[in-house]
């Protein structure tokens, strides 16, 4: 437990210094989930938002500057911060604590000059619960009454809310941009005169001594005045629990809270707040408060989409569509990118003088850039779908439909879409784990996604199966090769689920949180919000994961090309041109160079470790090369065997693998070797890009390294078992 | 009776919310305080979780947790099968706090 001294009543001198350094006023946007906060943020900031991290923790946040329109010339100096949606300020985990930290300026957060509480006009009472908490704590705030269009028949009065809480209130429809300009006005005038609201909740008298006991236990740095101290005490009483993960709470405060809580004081506090809000509800509307009911359109749509048979069928169809899109629709775009990179590489070959510089540019830099942008089509496509699913409200239904299955694996229902995307490519899939709020859920999903059979494994499987597995029919009608391909998918899924179950119960255990899932009303998704998310996610990927991938590509290239043997002129040229121009000799030279390279030596060095799996050093070099991307295994093997560039069919390489002989003249690679190699590729973490995005998402090298270790360990063990058991059985 | 025992389409008034403290708190903060009316809207196709209508919002909780919520079931409002594709339900005051 650490005591936080930077809190509210921080020494005035410290605050004065900060004001001088940071004169930009800070406005924080808080609100329940699904109230259109992001849409409003986009409207208020325009195009100048950036994605970063909250200081000190790995939760992502968006910040931007208030967009000035004509008369608001000073608007551009106001910084706006978007906080993850929250139903209340009571919190358990570090992530949930964010809204509290941001609103009060706790921990590393800067104290905001103003909070804009976004409120859904159709869910007024529940949304006002958060307003009550913030007003009690003395946070300067104003209310943005959003989605006013959805309650046009009997809208709540902004003036009534102003009377109840003593703070400004603006009605708006952020989707259509109505009221946004007025809100900007009010934000600017509120910054000049920070509105301190007041709300008098009639807490029962019996509560007072209990609250005052907690006030006495508050750290002295938190104390300010009587009302605020009591509000903080009530916050502590509704947040501290035997199993919370709160920071900033001293042992003394915790002990006092737990003692008082034995009398269920937290329930009394919450119930009194709701009783107050319910009592005032009628005065907020022109006519009597509307009967709260599910919106008819959502109700009708849910009868269809959550239908036991039809709903499930539609769900599966939709997931198939997304998968199909990732798997095949991205192909043409990926092809164009690959062609463009190849064109640039050829141009560089033809323009630059032969030598080290040319090789670095062509193979290292251009190849690396190609390795990065080749992921963009799938990332853009996946986030297009995720944006629509989130924005329309269907993503919550995915979690609802899949909870039963995912829970048994220790995963969140929302993990389904990222896991499914893992069959196409782990990189966008790992980026998609953002849709889960809890760090523990995200981490667990990330750690198992790379076990899914991604599309980069297919060329490798195809080669191995075609080269080393006898074609034939099982029971006279089942093609062995096809069956094995299906078996590889089943194997991967089984191992993924098993790993999730094991990891979820051991390393990333986390607390078991009961599900409380809101199914928001269906709304027409906003294309603009979706496009913006696609742009942001791609940019973050390019900037942060891209650099790592680029560096790794260059390192791998160097491993495979150094030390450089004295060679005939053209042999150092890129593979593509070398293979086309002077086939035989160059292929042999390239083979020799590779054997002599660091990667070649490394392959030989690790041969003892690979021998029990049935692999020799040549396959070892292939495995090292495949670290750039699994499909590179095929081309690296082509080089190792002196075949040069291999195409998709890889027929010469296939024959070569089949004909490879041991010293005694027996076939070197058996079907068993093939099987062992398939298992190895199914499980090993042969993908630096995956590790790069895991590093980007977890902000530490610890998890990517762990991922590499556990997957490679698993792969080695499984291949070992397959090969040794197989040999023993005499297969 | 327990909320988990309320049939689909039926409404009930919450009497007490039990279970783990943090879960109880979270539910109450979402407006499921004693005296609030809840309607069971449906059950997920795989049998769990449940969909509830509270204060105009659809919330979903698991059956195991719904066992910890005690309710007073209402004298049957004409039960419309929630799964049918019939026209919409009659508008009534579901979710508003009733007399305790």
Contacts with B26 from chain A: Cβ below 8 Å: 87, 90, 516
Rounded Cα distance, A292 and A315, in Å: 29
Strand pairing class (A141-146; A114-120): parallel
Would B91 be classed as within a structural domain?
Answer: no
Q: How many CB atoms lie within 10 A of CB B45?
A: 18
Strand pairing class (A79-82; A60-65): antiparallel
Would B53 be classed as within a structural domain?
Answer: yes
Judge: A274–B33 Cβ closer than 8 Å, yes or no. yes
Q: How far is B90 from chain A (nearest CA, A)?
A: 10
Query: Which H or E run contains B42?
Result: strand B37-43
- The DSSP string of B21-35 is HHHHHHHHHTT--TT
Q: Of B19, B44, B97, which has the smallest distance from its Cβ to A404's Cβ?
A: B44
Nearest CA in chain A to B18: A267
Domain count, chain B: 1
Per the CB < 8 A criterion, the answer to whether A430 and A375 are in contact is: no
Judge: B26–A403 Cβ closer than 8 Å, yes or no. no
Nearest CA in chain B to A297: B88
For position A14, what pLDDT does the model report?
A: 41
Would B57 be classed as within a structural domain?
Answer: yes
Would B31 be classed as within a structural domain?
Answer: yes
For position B97, what pLDDT does the model report?
A: 47
Per the CB < 8 A criterion, the answer to whether A289 and A221 are in contact is: no
The length of chain B in residues reads 100
| Percent of chain A at pLDDT exceeding 90 | 29
Nearest CA in chain A to B42: A306
Rounded Cα distance, A175 and A197, in Å: 28
Nearest CA in chain B to A87: B30
Q: Of B41, B57, B64, which has the smallest distance from its Cβ to A126's Cβ?
A: B57
Q: What is the mean pLDDT of chain A?
A: 83
Going along chain A from its start, the domains and CATH numbers come out as 12-192 (3.40.50.300), 207-263 (no CATH)
Q: Residue A356 to residues A352, A590, A594, A639: CA-CA distances in angstroms?
A: 10, 16, 16, 20
Judge: A403–B57 Cβ closer than 8 Å, yes or no. no
* pLDDT digits 0-9 by tens, A357-394: 888 888 888 888 888 888 899 889 988 998 898 888 89
Lookup: tokens for A681: 């590729």
Would B83 be classed as within a structural domain?
Answer: no
Helix axes A310-324, A394-408, angle to 10 degrees: 100
Band of residue A213 on the pLDDT scale cut at 50, 70, 90: very high
| Angle at alpha carbon of residue A415, lines to A412 and A421, rounded to 5° | 170
Contacts with A518 from chain B: Cβ below 8 Å: 57-60
Band of residue A209 on the pLDDT scale cut at 50, 70, 90: very high
* pLDDT digits 0-9 by tens, A395-446: 889 989 999 988 888 888 888 888 888 888 888 899 888 777 778 888 999 9
* pLDDT digits 0-9 by tens, A266-323: 999 999 999 999 999 888 887 766 666 667 888 889 989 998 889 889 999 998 898 8
> Where residue B9 sits, what CATH number does that domain have?
2.30.30.90
**What pLDDT tens digit does each residue of chain B (100 aa) get?**
999 999 999 999 999 998 888 888 989 999 999 999 999 999 998 888 999 999 888 999 999 889 999 999 886 554 444 444 444 444 444 444 444 3
Residue B69 sits in which domain range? 3-73
The alpha carbon torsion through A687, A692, A693, A694 (nearest 10 deg) reads 90
Would B46 be classed as within a structural domain?
Answer: yes
For position A290, what pLDDT does the model report?
A: 60
Would B18 be classed as within a structural domain?
Answer: yes
pTM reported for the whole predicted model: 0.81
Helices (H) and strands (E) in chain B, counts: 2, 5
Would B88 be classed as within a structural domain?
Answer: no
Mean pLDDT for A500-521 is: 83
* pLDDT digits 0-9 by tens, A131-171: 999 999 999 999 999 999 888 888 899 999 999 999 999 99
């Amino acid at each position: 437990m650490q005591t936080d001294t930077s809190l509210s009543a921080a020494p005035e001198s410290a605050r004065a210094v900060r004001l001088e350094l940071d004169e930009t006023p800070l406005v924080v946007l808080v609100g329940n989930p699904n109230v259109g906060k992001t849409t409003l943020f986009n409207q208020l900031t325009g195009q100048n938002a950036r994605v970063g991290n909250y200081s000190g923790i790995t939760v992502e946040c968006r910040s931007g500057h208030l967009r000035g329109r004509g008369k608001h010339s000073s608007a551009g100096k106001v910084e706006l911060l978007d906080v993850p949606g929250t139903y209340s300020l009571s919190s358990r985990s570090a992530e949930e604590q964010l809204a509290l930290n941001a609103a009060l300026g706790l921990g590393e957060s800067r104290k905001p000059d103003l909070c804009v509480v976004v409120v859904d006009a159709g869910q007024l009472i529940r949304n006002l619960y958060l307003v009550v908490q913030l007003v009690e704590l003395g946070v300067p705030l104003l209310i943005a009454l959003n989605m006013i269009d959805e309650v046009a028949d009997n809208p709540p009065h902004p003036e009534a809310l102003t009377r109840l809480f003593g703070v400004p209130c603006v009605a708006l429809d952020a989707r259509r941009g109505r009221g946004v300009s007025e809100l900007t006005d009010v934000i600017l005038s509120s910054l000049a005169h920070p509105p301190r609201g007041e709300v008098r909740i009639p807490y029962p008298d019996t509560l007072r001594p209990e609250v005052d006991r907690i006030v006495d236990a508050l750290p002295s740095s938190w104390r300010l005045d009587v009302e605020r101290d009591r509000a903080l005490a009530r916050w502590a009483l509704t947040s501290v629990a035997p199993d919370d993960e709160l920071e900033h709470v001293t042992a003394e405060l915790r002990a006092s809270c737990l003692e008082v809580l034995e009398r269920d004081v937290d329930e009394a506090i919450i119930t009194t707040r709701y009783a107050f809000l319910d009592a005032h509800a009628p005065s907020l509307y022109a006519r009597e408060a509307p009967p709260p009911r599910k919106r008819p359109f959502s109700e009708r749509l849910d009868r269809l989409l959550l239908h036991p048979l039809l709903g499930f069928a539609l769900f599966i169809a939709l997931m198939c569509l997304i998968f199909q899109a990732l798997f095949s629709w991205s192909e043409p775009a990926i092809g164009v990118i690959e062609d463009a990179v190849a064109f640039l590489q050829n141009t560089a070959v033809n323009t630059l003088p032969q030598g080290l510089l040319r090789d670095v540019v062509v193979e290292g830099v251009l190849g690396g850039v190609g390795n990065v942008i080749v992921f963009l089509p799938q990332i853009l496509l996946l986030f297009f779908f995720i944006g629509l699913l989130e924005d329309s409200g269907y993503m919550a239904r995915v979690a609802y439909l899949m909870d039963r299955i995912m829970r048994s694996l220790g995963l969140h229902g929302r993990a389904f879409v990222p896991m499914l995307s893992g069959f196409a490519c782990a990189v966008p899939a790992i980026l998609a784990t953002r849709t889960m709020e809890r760090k523990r859920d995200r981490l667990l999903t990330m750690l198992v996604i790379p076990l899914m059979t991604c599309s980069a494994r297919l060329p490798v499987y195809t080669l191995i199966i075609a080269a080393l597995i006898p074609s034939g029919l099982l029971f006279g009608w089942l093609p062995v090769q096809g069956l094995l391909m299906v078996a590889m998918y089943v194997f991967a899924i089984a191992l993924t689920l098993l790993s999730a179950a094991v990891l979820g119960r051991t390393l990333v255990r986390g607390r078991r949180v009961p599900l409380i899932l809101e199914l928001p009303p269906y709304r027409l998704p906003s294309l603009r919000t979706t496009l913006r998310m696609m742009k942001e996610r791609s940019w973050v990927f390019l900037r942060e994961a891209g650099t790592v991938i680029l560096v790794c590509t260059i390192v791998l290239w160097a491993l495979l090309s150094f030390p450089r043997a004295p060679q005939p002129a053209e042999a150092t040229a890129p593979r593509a041109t070398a293979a086309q121009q002077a086939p035989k000799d160059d292929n042999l030279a390239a083979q020799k160079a590779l054997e002599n390279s660091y990667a070649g030596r490394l392959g030989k060095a690790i041969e003892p470790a690979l021998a029990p799996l049935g692999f020799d050093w040549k396959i070892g070099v292939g495995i090292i090369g495949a670290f750039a991307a699994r499909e590179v295994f095929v081309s690296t093997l082509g080089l190792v065997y002196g075949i040069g560039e291999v195409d998709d069919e890889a027929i010469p390489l296939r024959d070569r693998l089949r004909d490879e002989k041991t010293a005694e003249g027996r076939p070197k690679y058996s079907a068993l070797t093939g099987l062992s190699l398939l298992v190895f590729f199914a499980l090993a973490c042969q993908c630096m890009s995956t590790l790069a995005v895991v590093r980007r998402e977890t902000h530490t090298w610890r998890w990517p390294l762990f991922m590499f270790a556990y997957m490679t360990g698993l792969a080695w063990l499984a291949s070992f078992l397959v090969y040794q058991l197989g040999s023993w059985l005499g297969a | 009776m327990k909320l988990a025992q309320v049939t689909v389409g039926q409404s009930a008034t919450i009497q007490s919310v039990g279970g783990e403290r943090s879960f109880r708190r979270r539910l109450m903060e979402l407006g499921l305080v004693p005296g609030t009316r809840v309607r069971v809207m449906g059950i997920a196709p795989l049998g769990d979780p449940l969909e509830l209508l509270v204060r105009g919002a659809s919330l979903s909780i698991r059956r195991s947790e719904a066992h910890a919520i005690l309710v007073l079931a209402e004298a049957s409002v004409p039960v419309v099968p929630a799964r049918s594709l019939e026209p919409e339900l009659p508008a009534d005051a579901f979710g508003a706090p009733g007399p305790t």
